[in-house]
Structure 1
Amino acid sequence: MPARTDSPPPPRSVMETLAQKYDVTRNGFLPHSAPVKRLSMHYATWELLAQCLPELLKERCLRGVVDGMKVLSVDNLTSEEEWQRAYVILTFLAHGYIWGGEKPSEVCKSLKSDASRVYVNLMQVLPPQIAVPLLQVSEHFDLPPTATYAGLVLWNFQSTSTDFSDPDSLKAITTFTGTEDESWFYMVSVALEAQTAYVIPIMVQAIEAIERRDYETMSVGLEEMINCIKEMDALLTRMYEKCEPATFYHDIRPLLAGSMNMEKAGLPNGVFYDEGDGKGSWRKLMGGSNGQSSTIQFLDIVLGVVHTGGAENATCPVSGVRGYASTTGCPISASKERRVGYHEQVRAYMPQGHRNFLKNLSRMGSLQEFAMSDHPGAEHARLRGLHEEACRTMGDFRKKHIQIVTRYIIIPKTKQPTDKKVRNLATASSESSDTSELKGTGGTSLAKFLAQSRDETYMAGCLTREESRVDPKGKE
């Protein structure tokens, strides 16, 4: 489904502000053009590993190859596009190394502490060959050194067209499995990002129109948003075309997992990022998740949807400050700590410009605040009705997402393969989880969290809880 072209273009000043201040392009949160496919010859080793990653994981020899590498400097990265490509490669290699063996990599290291030398048996170690450049590249972007939506999706596609909203014209540059299933899984998300790009400046105008009570701009914006979400719904349904649920669940999803809440997989302390010379740090980080999409949070903010799910996993300060705690992967802050929901936590996993955009947009208020206020007249009644319809449509989109999750995760979980041979640590940790406590790659209790997010979306439009009630497995 191509991007809409019948909507009036927003003022040039709006687009320029979005691009200059927040790195929001004509493709929304995607880059203005397709990402770089390969780095210079200086990084030929990285590129060769990325190209051979599916085979190396299949043969369980990635760790041995990486351990024999030299640590490459990031000094030869010459553009933002190359830095992005480096982040993609290194996060894929990191997750392949962490999850690609039958058990965590065990090694005895000599670590320096403030008082004395301490010897610790490290249960899971990411070696300097990956950890050192990955930490440097992550610092460059102020992103966690782990697989994120940015590295898996936003910066990891090639296209035969300048229109990125058609998944048939897209292909992932790097994957863990080399399968069309994995590429399609990422590329449907790329297409969703491109498909919704046109509505971003329109809704920014709608928010700005609140102060001057410009009902026409607000109403037109909501109408466009409703159509946009319906298009997202239709595009999400295409996931079934080229991505088999069993392949996703058993081969792809385990490799996306983070190091947070992975005690049962043998990572009680997370992963140790070894920087060499006795230096390094333990980190517990979320894995790659579509919940890290800035587009979905943008739509929520505009509609005034407030999410509280996932706060039970929050042990870190509020986001918005550069730097990450070594044990949690959460932003370091000197401010008073408070528990925050998953949706707020994952902003630290978004590119800096995008999370700044969401933060500043939140300060501008939402259409809900104005639509639900007490103003007389037909214009206001129409606006309120459109806001309710937009929340209902967004809630329906989340219902569709729950159905996708049910088909791709919950049902395959109950149908374990008859072949009991464990291929790698990732598969083992996936198969050992209790269905009732099934976690998403972001670390949340999957079914409960998604159902709560859906209900909160419906409730933002003032629907009653009974009207919004849907079974967590997607059945009304």
Structure 2
Amino acid sequence: MRPTTTQQGAQRKRLSFSYPSRNGLFAATTPFTAPAITLPPGHFLALPPTHAAPSAPSTTTSTHADIPTSAQTVTPNLAASNLAPNTSTTASADFEVDVRTGFLPFDAAVERLPAEYTVWEEALWAARGEGVVGQGLALGVDGLKEQVWRKGIEEMPVLPIQSLLSSLPELRRAHLVLTYLLHFYVHSHPTLPIPRTTPLPIPASISVPLLAVCPLLGLPPILTYADTVLYNSHPVHLHAAPSFERNPYVKSLVTFTNTSDEAHFYLTSTRCELAGVNALSIMRASLDEAFMADSLSLTRLTGYLNDLAAMIDHIGDIILDVRNGCDPAIFYHLVRPWFKGGDSDGPNSAGWAFLGVQDATAADLSSAAEHEAQASTSTQAAGGEQPPLKGRKFSGPSAGQSSLIHALDVFLTVDHAPKQPGATAEESFMIRMLMYMPAPHRAFLQHLATVPHPIRSLVTANAGKRPALVAAYDNALEALKRLREKHMRIATLYIIQQARRPPTAELIKMGAIPPPVAETQVAKDGQKHVVLQATSLSEIIRDEEQVLRLQREEQEEGDEEVRGTGGTALIKFLKMCRDNTVGAKLVGGRQ
């Protein structure tokens, strides 16, 4: 059932996202000045830590105290002292890491923005076909519905975000809505026979407010794991504390396809995050013992590391549970194409050009981009040649953006950093994915990486006297290796295997992109017809023996070039992460 508006009895006006536009339906886009996008004064990420040496008094201190900034409104506990928090625990709320929900926000996600942003919500609702499977915008098919919707986006007014600054949940919702609109706009364009050679222009109605919201959350201007998972779920009981067993997350607020398969895919990651709360608790307790480092503490640490291994195995098993509600063919052919970012065509991707924003501003926010696409000249306008469009190559949502998995790597000192200059996209991927996390979560990982008593150093220092401690540490790493192998099994089943099959007729009816026209046969009537597999959806999912066989085929060159939504050669990247994990072991690793 369609969600109700936040204002009871409010008139709901039908916008031209669903029907051909009529005169007067949209207000004309007025001239605007792109806002200066910088880290706001008083933001805790821009301030020195409390344990740092005192700095000279700032001439702007009184200004910060007298005039609330957007950062002060969102994080008043940090702005009060104008200093970053002196966090000595991995459970600090200043990192937006909750002891009850981990990296998931404890407060329920906002389901609809305030009334003044109804045009955004209506555009998203129309793009999704009002929640009906198969009625949303089509992938790569330039039909009348897609043309009308995109025209509505291009004519949509540029809305200011000032009224969102007092609510962190509403800022998260704004980023979610705008980035879903961004991906609907990009991927409803007709599919080109060859990769795009010029950047795709993104209308100012999306790019200007999105690039204003991004620095307040520390997120890039693209759909992220935070949008699809962290900010996109509701538990069974909305007003009760979320719990893995008693009050699990069961609802995804926004999907591209309206299918239960897509919702289950997101909720599987949500369950992993909620299960990770216990892992974070074990990590926190382990660091407390590392601080003491006496005989009793080392004994306790041994037990904690073995407990952590069990929790990592539990998270890996949840990853495998995605098979219980998400059909691999539906995911690959209907859901996954919407995720692709501006770098999805690999190193030669043209990227996306964010219109209406000063180029310097866009460059400041492109730290998450692998690199700028080559500047290319746009079509000639009436007044002469337009300035060249600069494409930004951001990556789409990926499990590699999960702060939980990065936290396990950091805690166990698994190094994914490139080993030499000129690293490939695969070698730099995990480091680059840090920029796709909310800023407080990046700060948490940085804090975790700089604790004064790292676990690995403590285990190494006591290796001769406590072999059980070494075995427990390696046990945790072995569990992390198993988690990555389980991820590889899912990637093989959901991506590698599906890449070898064209979509079925049933999937095409649901919105999948048909196979290339070249794949045709001549029928008795002399006409060419597209060859579609008659395989049913249920027959596509093979048993474990076939999955294991496909894993043994990882070495095939074609598999190496199947790219993830982050633009990397998928199997090559996953194998690299697994090998880095094995290499961190004290016994049998790289040492």
TM-score where L is the length of structure 2: 0.63
Counterparts of 1:262 and 1:425 in 2: how far apart (Å)? 19
User: Per chain length, whose mean CA-contact separation is higher, i.e. which structure has more relative contact order (CA < 8 Å, sep 6+)?
Assistant: 1
Counterparts of 1:376 and 1:122 in 2: how far apart (Å)? 60
Q: 1:281 to 1:315 in 2, by over 3 A?
A: farther
Query: Gaps spanning 5+ residues in structure 2: where?
Result: 1-85, 130-135, 139-144, 359-385, 520-556
Q: Residue 95 of structure 2 aligns with which residue?
A: 22
Q: Residue 369 of structure 2 aligns with which residue?
A: none
Contact 1:127–1:274 (8 Å) recurs in 2: yes
Answer yes or no: is 1:179 the counterpart of 2:262: no
Paired letter, 1:138: C
1:201 to 278, 281, 290: 281
Counterparts of 1:75 and 1:177 in 2: how far apart (Å)? 31
Counterparts of 1:29 and 1:428 in 2: how far apart (Å)? 40
Per mean C-alpha deviation after superposition, the further-off stretch among 432-441 and 124-133 is: 432-441
Contact 1:101–1:425 (8 Å) recurs in 2: no
Contact 1:100–1:425 (8 Å) recurs in 2: no
Q: Equivalences for 1:366-405 in 2 at 5 Å?
A: 366-377=454-465, 380-405=466-491
Q: Residue 300 of structure 1 aligns with which residue?
A: 409
Counterparts of 2:126 and 2:211 in 1: how far apart (Å)? 23
Counterparts of 2:178 and 2:312 in 1: how far apart (Å)? 33
Q: Residue 360 of structure 1 aligns with which residue?
A: 447
2:115 to 41, 45, 52: 41
Shift of 1:200: 1.2
Q: Residue 51 of structure 1 aligns with which residue?
A: 125
Q: Residue 549 of structure 2 aligns with which residue?
A: none
Paired letter, 1:134: L
Counterparts of 2:259 and 2:279 in 1: how far apart (Å)? 32
Per mean C-alpha deviation after superposition, the further-off stretch among 360-369 and 281-290 is: 360-369
Counterparts of 2:217 and 2:249 in 1: how far apart (Å)? 28
Query: Gaps spanning 5+ residues in structure 1: where?
Result: 1-12, 105-120, 317-338, 467-476
Look up the SS of the partner of 2:102 in the other structure: coil
Paired letter, 1:42: E
Contact 2:222–2:396 (8 Å) recurs in 1: yes
Q: Residue 394 of structure 2 aligns with which residue?
A: 285
Q: 1:169 to 1:236 in 2, by over 3 A?
A: same
Counterparts of 1:220 and 1:416 in 2: how far apart (Å)? 49
Counterparts of 2:346 and 2:512 in 1: how far apart (Å)? 12
2:337 to 249, 254, 271: 254
Counterparts of 1:122 and 1:129 in 2: how far apart (Å)? 21
Q: 1:231 to 1:427 in 2, by over 3 A?
A: farther
Q: 1:406 to 1:312 in 2, by over 3 A?
A: farther
Counterparts of 2:560 and 2:309 in 1: how far apart (Å)? 34
Paired letter, 1:207: L
Answer yes or no: is 1:149 the counterpart of 2:237: no
Counterparts of 1:180 and 1:427 in 2: how far apart (Å)? 22
Counterparts of 1:426 and 1:131 in 2: how far apart (Å)? 27
Q: 1:403 to 1:260 in 2, by over 3 A?
A: same
Answer yes or no: is 1:272 the counterpart of 2:353: yes
Q: 1:417 to 1:45 in 2, by over 3 A?
A: same
Counterparts of 2:121 and 2:515 in 1: how far apart (Å)? 28
Paired letter, 1:195: A
Shift of 1:205: 3.1
1:409-446 deviations in Å (ceiling 9; x for gaps): 000001112669899998889x9995441111112110
1:396-415 deviations in Å (ceiling 9; x for gaps): 11111100111100000011
Per mean C-alpha deviation after superposition, the further-off stretch among 252-261 and 305-314 is: 305-314
Q: 1:422 to 1:180 in 2, by over 3 A?
A: closer
Look up the SS of the partner of 2:173 in the other structure: helix
Answer yes or no: is 1:190 the counterpart of 2:277: no
1:211-240 deviations in Å (ceiling 9; x for gaps): 431213422321321121122122122101
Contact 1:309–1:449 (8 Å) recurs in 2: no
Shift of 1:72: 1.5
Shift of 1:314: 5.8
Counterparts of 1:232 and 1:130 in 2: how far apart (Å)? 36
1:223 to 306, 315, 318: 306
Per mean C-alpha deviation after superposition, the further-off stretch among 442-451 and 360-369 is: 360-369
Contact 2:249–2:271 (8 Å) recurs in 1: no
Counterparts of 1:123 and 1:218 in 2: how far apart (Å)? 52
Shift of 1:313: 8.4
Answer yes or no: is 1:137 the counterpart of 2:213: yes
Paired letter, 2:413: G
Q: Residue 244 of structure 2 aligns with which residue?
A: 165
Q: Equivalences for 1:412-423 in 2 at 5 Å?
A: 412-417=498-503
Contact 2:200–2:391 (8 Å) recurs in 1: no
Q: Residue 573 of structure 2 aligns with which residue?
A: 449
Q: 1:19 to 1:366 in 2, by over 3 A?
A: closer
Shift of 1:140: 1.4
Shift of 1:181: 0.8
Contact 1:250–1:427 (8 Å) recurs in 2: no
Counterparts of 2:259 and 2:558 in 1: how far apart (Å)? 27
Counterparts of 2:321 and 2:206 in 1: how far apart (Å)? 35
Q: 1:200 to 1:102 in 2, by over 3 A?
A: same
Q: Residue 344 of structure 1 aligns with which residue?
A: 431
Q: Residue 172 of structure 2 aligns with which residue?
A: 84
Contact 2:346–2:567 (8 Å) recurs in 1: no
Counterparts of 2:459 and 2:514 in 1: how far apart (Å)? 48
Contact 2:90–2:284 (8 Å) recurs in 1: no
Counterparts of 1:456 and 1:375 in 2: how far apart (Å)? 21
Q: 1:39 to 1:426 in 2, by over 3 A?
A: farther
More helix by share: 1
1:212 to 288, 292, 304: 292
Counterparts of 2:168 and 2:396 in 1: how far apart (Å)? 23
Look up the SS of the partner of 1:76 in the other structure: helix
Q: Equivalences for 1:55-74 in 2 at 5 Å?
A: 55=129, 56-58=136-138, 59-61=145-147, 62-74=149-161
Shift of 1:201: 3.4
Contact 1:310–1:449 (8 Å) recurs in 2: no
Look up the SS of the partner of 1:144 in the other structure: coil
Per mean C-alpha deviation after superposition, the further-off stretch among 209-218 and 239-248 is: 209-218
